[in-house]
């Protein structure tokens, strides 16, 4: 068997988008990923299907796997012929023990590559509004471990030289030793009033920053019960924070938002949340697919074969548009055969999907739901008109019922079906179990029912009760009705049933929380 290769990859400080392009390439091609707790779990979504994920992270009071065991694990995996990514928080060469891992790989004749990452020593202060150098304040910096016991710190750090060697001092992993570190810096010449900042979980939704001086910082840390992991910054550059704390000013900063849409549709909402400073947690609970029932497929073929007979085609979702055109291609039906039909759409996204295919729609309804479309088109609908309704198997019955009541001839076409998604993110489920989600977004009734069903299957007996106190964001009244009937309390509902309006409502909710409104 040929030997594999090991990529020793820096994952960056926490924000998953701060991984390098090369690091992401390695992650995507790997058969096995060996990762620790400082690497964002969201990066694991880029791993190819079937790849193994092995957690070897360390906690302050517990080591999941000793470093020597990790070293040997990488060797064993590569000897089995696997392509392996060792994913490490920050940069692997800065207190990441990458030298030990690479040395054993070299001794065993295994190819490896060290992929640098953005170090937390620089990125975390930057996210807290602290540039580690500044023309007027600091032209140099030192990066120092603060993780060792005091006696080891004294052996590894020459305090008399380090204290005043550079303008900025960065200590990594030193929260528990902050009092001793401050004491040594003062003893060796740093003024007691020197500014100090501690940034916990920097670049992530949990980011928290406290500021003091060398003489006060230990007391502040204890009073705040400030816990690791954190980066410690010592120097005048800390004073820049009041002007430059850009990340914490983002409107959704501090909010972890669960996105329950189908994976194919989730990225738009997730990207908006992330751009506004929140952390999207994707847990697709619905999956859309083509119907497999032969009778349903036959009915689609028959309906499309009668293309010239329709006076209207009414689309109620983007999915309806996408799957309708998939079926046209499958049965080789030219869209121009529907030349007699006028096209209507519920909502701007559905209309946009049609326009991208060169199809114009009649005027959009004021209410982006079936009732709104019927109200908008009331004067144009004629008795005897034949209406094609390409939609999902769970679509509401109000549209065909109302059309029939007005003397029209609706033809319902289940061009796709909605099912409970199989592939679930265990990290997202853990956040729900531990109530570490701040808001949940529902974009359809099926996302509500499927999430609750999923949680029941995962052992949460009373899902609605478990989610009590978490902000529930519903895209519109129909989804709200489903949620409330299931026992949830909806706290956020936009005036318009659109993703943009839903995001704006989330932002306003977060602002209200900060203002205690």
**Closest to 178 measured CA to CA, from 130, 210, 132:** 210
CA pair distance 230, 233, nearest whole angstrom: 10
What Cα–Cα distance (Å) separates residue 68 from each residue in 63, 75, 101, 102, 328? 12, 11, 8, 12, 59
Beta strands in 106-167, from DSSP E residues, in sequence order: 111-115, 141-145
- DSSP state, residue 311: S
471 beta partners = 439
| Measured distance CA(371)–CA(368) in Å, rounded | 8
62 CB contacts (<8 Å, ≥6 apart)? Answer: none
The whole-angstrom separation of Cα 517 and Cα 502 is 19
Gyration radius (Cα) of the chain, Å: 28
Cis peptide before 229 (omega within 30 of 0): yes
Q: 150 near 45, Cβ under 8 Å?
A: no
Q: Among all residues, which ones are annotated catalytic? A: 36, 58, 173
Angle between helices 318-330 and 294-305 (to 10 degrees): 80
Pairing relationship of beta strands 286-289 and 312-315 according to DSSP bridges: unpaired
Q: State the Cα–Cα distance between residues 174 and 89, nearest whole angstrom.
A: 16
CB count within 10 Å of CB 187 equals 11
3-state secondary structure of 70: helix
Q: What is the DSSP letter of 451?
A: H
Q: What CA–CA distance (Å, rounded) separates 282 from 305?
A: 39
Give a three-class secondary structure readout of 486-507. CCCCCCECCCCCCHHHHHHHHH
Query: What separation in angstroms does the CA of 503 have from each of 218, 275, 280, 347?
Result: 40, 11, 12, 16
With CA atoms as reference, report the closest residue to 94 among 64, 72, 114: 114
- DSSP assignment letter at 240: G
Residue 421 near residue 428 (C-beta atoms within 8 A): no
Query: Which residue in this structure is represented by tokens 């003091």?
Result: 212
User: Are 64 and 73 contacting, i.e. CB atoms less than 8 angstroms apart?
Assistant: no
Instruction: Give rounded-to-5 percent helix, strand, coil for the chain.
Output: 40, 20, 40
């Amino acid at each position: 068997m040929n030997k594999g290769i090991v990529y020793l990859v820096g994952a960056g400080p926490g924000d998953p988008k701060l991984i390098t392009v090369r690091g992401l390439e390695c992650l995507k091609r790997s058969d096995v990923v060996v990762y620790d707790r400082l690497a964002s779990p969201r990066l694991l979504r880029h791993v190819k299907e079937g790849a193994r994920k092995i957690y070897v992270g360390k906690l302050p009071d517990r080591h999941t796997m000793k470093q020597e065991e990790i070293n040997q694990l990488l060797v064993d995996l590569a000897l089995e012929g696997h392509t392996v990514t060792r994913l490490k928080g920050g940069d692997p060469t800065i207190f990441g023990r990458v030298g030990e891992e690479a040395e054993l790989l070299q001794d065993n004749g295994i190819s490896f590559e060290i992929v640098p990452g953005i170090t937390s020593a620089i990125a975390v202060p930057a996210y807290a509004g602290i540039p580690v150098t500044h023309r007027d304040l600091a032209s140099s910096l030192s990066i120092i471990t603060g993780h060792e016991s005091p006696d080891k710190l004294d052996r590894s750090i020459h305090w008399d030289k380090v204290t005043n060697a550079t303008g900025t001092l960065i200590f990594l992993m030193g929260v528990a030793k902050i009092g001793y570190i401050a004491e040594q810096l003062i003893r060796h010449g740093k003024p007691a009033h020197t500014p100090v900042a501690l940034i916990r979980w920097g670049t992530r939704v949990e980011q928290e920053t406290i500021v003091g001086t060398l003489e006060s910082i230990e007391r502040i840390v204890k009073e705040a019960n400030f816990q690791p992991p954190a980066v410690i910054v010592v120097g005048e550059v800390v004073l820049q924070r009041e002007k430059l704390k850009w990340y914490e000013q983002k409107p959704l900063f501090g909010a972890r938002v669960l996105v329950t849409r189908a994976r194919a549709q989730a990225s738009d909402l997730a990207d908006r949340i992330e751009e506004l400073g929140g952390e999207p947690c994707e847990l697709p609970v619905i999956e859309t697919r083509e119907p497999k029932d032969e009778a349903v497929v036959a009915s689609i073929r028959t309906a499309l074969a009668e293309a010239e007979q329709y006076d209207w085609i009414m689309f109620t979702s983007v999915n309806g548009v996408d799957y309708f055109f998939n079926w046209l291609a499958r049965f080789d039906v030219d869209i121009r055969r529907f030349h007699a039909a006028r096209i209507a759409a519920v909502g701007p996204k559905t209309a946009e999907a049609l326009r991208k295919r060169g199809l114009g729609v009649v005027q959009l309804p004021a209410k982006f739901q079936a009732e709104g479309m019927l109200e908008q088109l009331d004067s144009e609908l004629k008795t005897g008109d034949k209406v094609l309704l390409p939609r999902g198997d769970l679509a509401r019955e109000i549209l065909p019922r109302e059309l029939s009541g007005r003397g029209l001839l609706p033809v319902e076409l289940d061009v796709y079906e909605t099912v409970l998604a199989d592939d679930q993110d265990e990290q997202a489920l853990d956040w729900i179990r531990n109530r570490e989600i701040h808001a949940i977004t529902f974009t359809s009734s099926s996302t509500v029912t499927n999430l609750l069903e999923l949680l029941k299957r995962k052992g949460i007996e009373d899902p609605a009760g478990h989610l009590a106190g978490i902000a529930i964001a519903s895209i519109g009244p129909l989804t709200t009705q489903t949620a409330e009937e299931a026992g949830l309390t909806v706290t956020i509902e936009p005036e318009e049933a659109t993703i943009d309006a839903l995001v704006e409502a989330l932002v306003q909710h977060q602002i209200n929380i900060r203002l205690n409104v």
